[in-house]
Amino acid sequence: AHEAVRKRGLVVADAGFDGGALNREDDAARIENHDAATMDSDVQRAAVSAAMDRLSLQQRQIIFLVFHRDLSLAQAARVCDISLGSARTHYHRAKQHLRTSLARSACATTKTEVRHV
């Protein structure tokens, strides 16, 4: 049974609902889990975007070329017209910055969630 359920403005289609009443605890739990997962992924996307915005232009370019275009560091260096050594430096510093920024973001989110509970 392909059924869509609307709750909190979200449409959840074919999420394992058996077509029964929505007040059943297992169906409600599935909706809540979907909402929580969606919220978590939105928070993660926002944190990554904010961390990427804080990188230098060269760091963003190298990270984009390596991770999104699947280029090697040597290929990314040629595209950016910089030496391989500079590309490595930008790449490693960008990863270090992202790791630190995202860890701080995760700690801040966890502290905020604990306060709201």
* Tens digits of residue pLDDT in 6-39: 434 444 444 444 444 444 555 555 555 555 555 5
pTM of the model: 0.58
- For 33-68, how does the pLDDT look when each residue is reduced to its tens digit (9 = 90+)? 555 555 578 888 898 899 999 999 999 999 999 999
- Pseudo-torsion of CA 50, 53, 54, 58, nearest 10°? 150
Burial (CB < 10 A; 0-12, 13-18, 19+), residue 82, is: middle
